[in-house]
Every structure is written in C-alpha cells, then in structure tokens.
Structure 1
Amino acid sequence: MSCNTEKKIKSLWFIIGIFVLGGIIGLLFSFGVAVGVEKTSGDKFCTMCHTMQPMANSYYRDAHGGNNINGVRAKCVDCHLPHDSLANYLFEKAKTGLHDVRVQNFGDLESIDWEDKRKHAKRFVFDSGCMNCHANLQNATSSNTKAFIAHKEYFEKRTDKKCVECHKNVGHHILGDYIKK
C-alpha cells in the first residue's frame, strides 16, 4: 500500500469517527434535553414557588388536576404551552421559564395582580393544548345538540375565540377564591 492510500484510509476513518462521535454527543444532548423538559413539566416543579400555591391548590380541586372519576391529571404544560410544533413548544417553554425565574428572583411578587392576569388567560392557555387532549371533541359533542351548537363556530373556524374564553374556570377550580386567601 502506498503512503497516499494510507493517508486516504486514515482520513476516511477520521471522518467516520467524527460522525460517530457527533452522533453520540447529539444523542446524549437530545436525551438530556428530553429529561430536562420532562422534569420541568409537572405540577411538582411548577408549584415549587410560593407564588404558585393558589394556582396549585385550585388545580388539585379541578377535574384537570385529577379530581375526576378517572383520576386523569393534565400536566401544567398540557394547557400552558402550545402543542402545534416541537419548536414552538420548546421556544415557549424556554421563554416562559426564563420570565418566571426573572420575576421570581428579581420581581416585586407582592405587586402581581393575579385577578387581572386571569382576564388575559387566553395568553397563558393554548388551544392546541386543549385540542391535544380533546381531539375528539367534535365527534363527542355530535350526540349532544346543546354542546355541539356551543362549539359549532369553533369547529367551522368562524371564530377567533379561544377555548378558555368560554371555559373561564377550566384547569383551576374556583381560582379566584384561592387567590383571595
């Protein structure tokens, strides 16, 4: 074998090694991100801060918090993050998380008007999250005329209203009472 051929073989193995190493690093990074996203998605993480306690207490009393006949519980991110794409989900999670850390550590927590924030719930609850779990809503309401008519404009995409604009207390049973305490 000539010296030139040996160099080409070594270069080929070097390139293959770089790709294999890059693949392993990429997989480890992806696994780390997936674990991090999962660990920061539930009520245990989201309610660590004292300011979230009223929301946690009302959530546990709600059907979405497990207070239902099946014991099914939605995670905080099921409602409070978009589910239209992975990129949007991760972007919004990072943006919201950084905002919350900043406010929790450097903000004036006593000045937060939680009742006023409730008026803007459509900014904090995403229809794609609702529809991720309630994908069969149109079929499920077809046998209930009253429910079907109430959702008809939504099904036909003739309204800009968000789910939470009609379902004002969804996710947090009597939240206003918990906020006042």
Structure 2
Amino acid sequence: MKILSFLLKPFVLIGMGGVVAGLILALGFSKGLAYTNSTEFCISCHEMQSTVYQEYKETEHFQNHSGVQTQCADCHVPKEFMPKMVRKVMAVNDLYHHLLGTLDTQEKFEAKRGLLAQRVWNYMEETDSRECRSCHSWSAMDLEEQGRSAKRKHLRAQKKGETCIDCHKGVAHELPVDDEI
C-alpha cells in the first residue's frame, strides 16, 4: 500500500510521465533519423527520382558482383552523430529549394548540376572523403589484386595524401559538362 501511495504522488507521476515522454521522443527521433537516411526518402522528391537516382542505378555502387549496395546516405551523410546532425541541418536548404521548385525540371537540374556537384566535391575534399572511407580504406585495399594502372595511381595518391574525390568524381552520378563548373 505504501508503494502505491508513493507512486500516486504528483511528483512521481510527473517524473514517470517525463520518462515515458522522453522514451517516446527518443524513439521517434531515432526512427525519423533512420527514415531520412533511407534512399526511399532521398528519392521521394521527383527531381532526385528522375535524375541522380537513375544515374546511380547504372553504377557499381548500386549493382555489383559482391551484392553490396550503397544507399544515398552512405555517401552523402556522415556516420558520426554531430557531423550527421550538421548535415541534416544543411539539408534544410535542399528542402527549401524543393518547395520553391528550383530543380523541378530536367532542364533546371542540368543547369545547376555543376554547382551542385562542386558543392559535394568541396565537402568531400574538406572531410578527406570521410564517407567514402567508411567502406574504402587504404589499409584494407589489396593493391596486388588491382590492375597495374589502379595500383600505380593508388600508391601515388597515398603518398601524396590525396583523397578519393580527387580522382573519383562521377563515380555514382554523371559528371557535369565543363562549362557548368
């Protein structure tokens, strides 16, 4: 009886309610974060569905001999929590332009492709291609299994401290024409 009367005290009820509300918010945040990292979410805007997603489907990152398929977030969203949150806040700009219709036609998208690509490349250079390195690392590369040209270029890139994007622009999406950049 003492336990029941204690549990029914206002401060205990408020505390338990706070814990339940906190758990619900944490679960909602976690589910929301997971959904916004899904390719399904990324291509829910028709401008992504009809452009970069179609290009991505033609690459080794989509279909390959090992059966490993990357998702949009694997390349475009950091794994670590704080950089991920910063990227999510920056993505509000994408939503803003979606609502404005800035890229709602193929022609509008192509007119901005160079600028959009350059922003991604700059970000990848600033982060030393961090998202690429989630899957591809110098230490895990077996250079002896690579072709002669790839082996030579990877050795040189390693020595020079180059990052993935220095050589691998256009690996998942079409390159912009030179006059767009």
For normalisation by structure 2, the TM-score amounts to: 0.71
Q: Does 1:132 align with 2:134?
A: yes
Q: Does 1:152 align with 2:166?
A: no
Letter in 2 for 1:59: Y
Q: Does 1:101 align with 2:95?
A: yes
Higher RCO by CA contacts (8 Å cutoff, separation 6 or greater): 1
Number of matched pairs: 160
- Percent of pairs identical after alignment? 23
Q: Residue in 2 aligned with 1:45?
A: 41
Letter in 1 for 2:121: K
For normalisation by structure 1, the TM-score amounts to: 0.71
Q: Does 1:169 align with 2:170?
A: yes
Deviation sequence 1:68-98 (CA, Å, 0-9, x none): 0122111111111123x212202311321x1
- Following superposition, the deviation at residue 100 of structure 1 comes to 1.3
Distance 2:38 2:47 in 1: 16
Distance 1:175 1:71, change over 3 A: farther
- Following superposition, the deviation at residue 17 of structure 1 comes to 3.9
Distance 1:147 1:140, change over 3 A: farther
Secondary structure, counterpart of 2:57 in structure 1: helix
Distance 1:69 1:119, change over 3 A: same
Q: Residue in 2 aligned with 1:64?
A: 61
Distance 2:44 2:30 in 1: 21
* Conserved? CA contact 1:121–1:164, under 8 Å: no
Distance 1:70 1:142 in 2: 18
Q: Residue in 1 aligned with 2:148?
A: none
- Following superposition, the deviation at residue 16 of structure 1 comes to 4.3
Distance 1:165 1:121, change over 3 A: farther
Unaligned runs of 5+ in 2: 146-150
Letter in 1 for 2:64: N
Letter in 1 for 2:87: E
- Following superposition, the deviation at residue 132 of structure 1 comes to 1.7
Unaligned runs of 5+ in 1: 1-5
Larger of the two Rg values belongs to structure: 1
Q: Residue in 1 aligned with 2:142?
A: 141
Secondary structure, counterpart of 1:69 in structure 2: coil
* Conserved? CA contact 1:122–1:162, under 8 Å: no
- Following superposition, the deviation at residue 143 of structure 1 comes to 3.8
* Conserved? CA contact 2:75–2:131, under 8 Å: yes
Letter in 2 for 1:92: R
Letter in 2 for 1:93: K
Distance 1:99 1:15, change over 3 A: same
Secondary structure, counterpart of 2:84 in structure 1: helix
